[in-house]
């Protein structure tokens, strides 16, 4: 494989292992796996799930649902609040596939029932503490209204939650604490109102042992993982299945920095804080590793300290910087693989094949 | 214009005024304007410059140079360290157009002279304090070697700098201080070694009155501006020429938040800190404004406090939130228009026409 510009490499073997492991977890919990495809945006990566028997998926937009429906996915949940303005596109989709939407207000449900004529399912989005979207689980009056709004054309399916606040956790105990709260709240709603429970961000799905309270698991990031998930504790470094190959374009030994072609338009500006050797907070926009034949090594060689539009600045030790030359290609483990994947025109498998993905229109 | 999903609106009239103003500044300084096109990635936006008589441009990658060369730009500087690995593509481009590259090491210059056979120009990148790339201006030995490396095939053009550290400034005095240092350093190099001076980030180009020390100005962001530039002081709110139209999908009055379809994959995760009413630091990922016929109002109605992949969370006052309904479309002035523009598949003029841009391959 000839790489000349920033290129996101996918280690298919690692990705398939990640899929297999999550599938086993879902099986053990007696839950179905409905993976979130907003991490990879790719029919080909989707096909790796299909080969393992997965037939349902989750997406975060109507356009992503259209893309996967065009690639033979016939059971899709759009895990994003129903966008009234796309009712025509939703109606067209619902004609072709089993489509589930998310609802959190009576206004939205009324609009859906009025404007979408082909049958859809809907989940009530429940806020389990992330405070992004969703109904307060104590608001049983509203929940009752939303459940009772079920009709032939818009059928109540159950309760759906995304515990996105687990991304702020850095130990299992905090994740378990969030999880226990969600189990309590969602189980009570299910007991009272019926329907299924759809749950499962990547940190929880990776770290919590027993997920049998839920009927459906919906993690997405785990197929690739990334440095943030490693920092949370969701994965080991060698489970990270994507790596950005970046050409070295400048070396500044006087400040222990190399400059790579690979910036915010390739990696995204998402970052995590971490402690440096002196215990001070520093920013991390990715971790440098060495590329190897058909992949990359898992030893971290340096920290991506800054990103501008096309430049990445990596801090290296004296020993490491002595080994780097202008024109070398190094690897960067991304901080947030979903946003990095979104920025690519295509991916490259470590075995050399181009992997196509959804294009922005 | 019918908007259903996040759509970046461009007010062409404002953009053209921004171009006109910068052109007048360059004329006053007796400098040529070589605008950076990494802000808009669009042949059509480029044509607005051409209509004002601009014939030279700056880009940040070989692929961007190819795109603009394909759209009849015949004098292009790639303001990014020479990427050895793309020497073939560079050689092809140099056959068609006047191409300038950036050099900061003898290794890169030697490689260029050996591998690129069609004539190119090169600038020596000088670090005026940003410490991203560039030669230390005190390293006259290296600079001398790089100047003396000039040949028929690779011709020394002059000194180029990007004072990116002005983006950290929030007052004119700090920007002037950086500017004065650059003037001193670059003028000395020019006097000693010859060549021209190419300078001009958007904050400096917008705020410093007399730029006559430089021969060429290279700002990019000014064509659109954004909230960060407004915070720096480079522009007024009504000079910001782009606004993201976003559908409202959920309202949470209990915490004064609306949720829009418009997240990190539409706006980018770039952000600025600012003080809230209590004087505490808060994050800003954009500013909410109201859309109006053929544009948007310039009164800021709310702050985009958080972004996830597809969601934007906007904080509003009681009074403002009472006016918003699910299904409304609101506007968001982006924090960093270059990164926001990169994320789009196309733009929409406020007059209704689709504006095409470079696609990722």
Q: What is the pLDDT along chain B (361 residues), one digit of tens a residue?
A: 689 999 999 999 999 999 999 999 999 999 999 999 999 999 999 999 999 999 999 999 999 999 999 999 999 999 999 999 999 999 999 999 999 999 999 999 999 999 999 999 999 999 999 999 999 999 999 999 999 999 999 999 999 999 999 999 999 999 999 999 999 999 999 999 999 999 999 999 999 999 999 999 999 999 999 999 999 999 999 999 999 999 999 999 999 999 999 999 999 999 999 998 899 999 999 999 999 988 999 999 999 999 999 999 999 999 999 999 999 999 999 999 999 999 999 999 999 999 999 999 8
| Cα B49 to Cα B7, B53, B98, B215, B226, distances in angstroms | 23, 7, 18, 19, 19
Judged by CB atoms closer than 8 Å, whether chains meet at A326 and B80 is answered as no
Task: Please check whether residue A107 is in contact with residue B251, taking contact to mean a CB–CB distance below 8 angstroms.
Answer: no
Phi, psi (5° rounding) for residue A341?
-60, -40
Closest-approach residue (CA) in chain A for B85: A4
Q: How many Å apart are CA B353 and CA B361, to the nearest integer?
A: 24
Average of per-residue pLDDT across A268-293: 95
Q: How many Å apart are CA B81 and CA A308, to the nearest integer?
A: 13
Q: Over the Cα atoms of chain B, what is R_g?
A: 22
Contacts of A313 in chain B (CB under 8 A): 132
How many residues belong to chain A?
361
Going by pLDDT thresholds of 50, 70 and 90, the confidence category of residue A116 is: very high
pLDDT score of A277 more than 90 = no
**Residues A11-45 pLDDT 10s:** 999 999 999 999 999 999 999 999 999 999 999 99
Judged by CB atoms closer than 8 Å, whether chains meet at A345 and B360 is answered as yes
Contacts of A327 in chain B (CB under 8 A): 84-85, 111
The helix (run of H) or strand (run of E) holding residue B108 is: helix B106-115
Q: Is B77 helix (H, G, I), strand (E, B) or coil?
A: strand
Contacts of B311 in chain A (CB under 8 A): 80, 132-133
Q: Which of A82, A92, A163, A326 to mutate to test the interface with B (most CBs of B within 10 A)?
A: A326
DSSP letter for A254, please.
Answer: G
Q: Which CATH class is domain A13-223?
A: alpha beta
d(CA B89, nearest CA chain A) in Å = 10
Going by pLDDT thresholds of 50, 70 and 90, the confidence category of residue A293 is: confident
Judged by CB atoms closer than 8 Å, whether chains meet at B247 and A62 is answered as no
Tokens for A285, please give them. 């926009």
> Could you tell me the fold of the domain covering A237-356?
Lyase, Ornithine Decarboxylase; Chain A, domain 1 (2.40.37)
Closest-approach residue (CA) in chain A for B84: A327
Q: How many Å apart are CA B270 and CA B304, to the nearest integer?
A: 12
Closest-approach residue (CA) in chain B for A90: B4
Q: What share of chain B is helix, strand, coil (3-state, %, to 5)?
A: 35, 30, 35
Q: Which of A67, A90, A258, A308 to mutate to test the interface with B (most CBs of B within 10 A)?
A: A308
Judged by CB atoms closer than 8 Å, whether chains meet at B132 and A164 is answered as no
- The residues with which A245 forms a beta bridge, in sequence order, are A7, A331
B270-279 as b/e: b if 16+ CB within 10 A: bbbeeeeeee
Q: How many Å apart are CA B221 and CA B160, to the nearest integer?
A: 18
Average of per-residue pLDDT across A283-300: 96
Give the percent of chain A with pLDDT over 90. Answer: 97
Q: How many Å apart are CA A183 and CA B356, to the nearest integer?
A: 48
Task: Please check whether residue A320 is in contact with residue A299, taking contact to mean a CB–CB distance below 8 angstroms.
Answer: no
Identify the CA nearest to A288 among candidates A227, A239, A209. Answer: A227
Phi, psi (5° rounding) for residue B45?
-65, -40
Going by pLDDT thresholds of 50, 70 and 90, the confidence category of residue A1 is: low
Q: How many Å apart are CA B57 and CA B218, to the nearest integer?
A: 8
Identify the CA nearest to B269 among candidates B280, B284, B256, B250. Answer: B284
Phi-psi region of B228 (alpha: psi -120 to 50; beta: other; left: phi over 0): alpha
Tokens for B325, please give them. 């309904």
Closest-approach residue (CA) in chain A for B337: A309
Judged by CB atoms closer than 8 Å, whether chains meet at A60 and B343 is answered as no
Judged by CB atoms closer than 8 Å, whether chains meet at A4 and B86 is answered as yes
Q: How many Å apart are CA B342 and CA B40, to the nearest integer?
A: 7
A-to-B residue pairs, Cβ atoms closer than 8 angstroms: 163
> Tokens 């659109």, residue?
B224
Domain ranges of chain A: 13-223, 237-356
Average of per-residue pLDDT across A253-260: 96
Q: What pLDDT shows up at residue B183?
A: 95
Q: What pLDDT shows up at residue B277?
A: 83
Going by pLDDT thresholds of 50, 70 and 90, the confidence category of residue A254 is: very high
Judged by CB atoms closer than 8 Å, whether chains meet at A327 and B265 is answered as no
Q: What pLDDT shows up at residue B1?
A: 62
Tokens for B229, please give them. 């530039």
Burial class (CB in 10 A: 0-12, 13-18, 19+), B322: exposed
Tokens for A290, please give them. 């060495």
A184-216 as b/e: b if 16+ CB within 10 A: ebbeebbeebebbbbbbbbbbbbbbeebebbbb
Identify the CA nearest to B101 among candidates B154, B34, B141. Answer: B154
Q: How many Å apart are CA B71 and CA B91, to the nearest integer?
A: 18
Tokens for A308, please give them. 């501008």
d(CA A172, nearest CA chain B) in Å = 23
- The residues with which B159 forms a beta bridge, in sequence order, are B124, B197
Tokens for B199, please give them. 């300078």
Q: Which CATH class is domain B12-222?
A: alpha beta
Closest-approach residue (CA) in chain A for B309: A339
DSSP letter for A223, please.
Answer: G
């Amino acid at each position: 494989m000839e790489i000349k510009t920033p290129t996101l490499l996918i280690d298919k073997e690692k990705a398939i292992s990640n899929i297999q492991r999550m599938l086993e977890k879902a099986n053990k919990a007696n839950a179905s796996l409905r993976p979130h495809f907003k991490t990879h945006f790719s029919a080909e990566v989707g096909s790796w799930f299909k080969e393992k028997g997965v037939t349902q998926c989750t997406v975060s937009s109507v356009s992503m649902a259209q893309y996967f429906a065009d690639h033979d996915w016939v059971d899709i949940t759009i895990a994003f609040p129903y966008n009234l303005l796309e009712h025509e596109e939703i109606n067209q989709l619902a004609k072709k596939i089993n489509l589930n939407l998310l609802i959190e207000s009576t206004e939205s449900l009324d609009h859906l029932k009025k404007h979408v004529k082909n049958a859809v399912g809907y989940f009530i989005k429940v806020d389990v503490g992330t405070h992004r979207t969703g109904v307060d689980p104590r608001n049983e009056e509203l929940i009752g209204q939303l459940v009772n709004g079920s009709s032939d054309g818009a059928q109540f399916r159950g309760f759906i939650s995304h515990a996105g606040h687990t991304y702020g956790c850095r130990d299992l105990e905090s994740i378990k604490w969030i999880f226990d709260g969600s189990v309590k709240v969602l189980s009570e709603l299910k007991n009272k109102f019926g329907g299924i429970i759809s749950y499962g961000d990547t940190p929880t799905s990776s770290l919590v042992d027993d997920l049998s309270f839920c009927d459906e698991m919906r993690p997405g990031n785990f197929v690739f993982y990334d440095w943030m998930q490693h920092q949370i504790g969701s994965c080991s470094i060698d489970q990270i299945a994507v790596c950005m190959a970046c050409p070295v374009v400048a070396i500044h030994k006087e400040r222990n920095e190399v400059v790579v072609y690979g910036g915010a338009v390739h990696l995204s500006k998402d970052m995590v804080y971490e402690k440096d050797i002196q215990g001070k907070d520093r920013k991390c926009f990715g971790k440098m590793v060495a590329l190897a034949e058909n992949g990359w090594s898992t030893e971290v060689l340096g920290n991506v300290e800054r990103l501008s539009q096309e430049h990445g600045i990596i801090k290296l030790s004296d020993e490491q910087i002595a080994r780097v030359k202008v024109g070398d290609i190094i690897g960067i483990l991304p901080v947030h693989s979903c946003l990095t994947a979104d920025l690519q025109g295509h991916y490259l498998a470590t075995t050399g094949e181009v992997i196509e993905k959804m294009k922005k229109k």
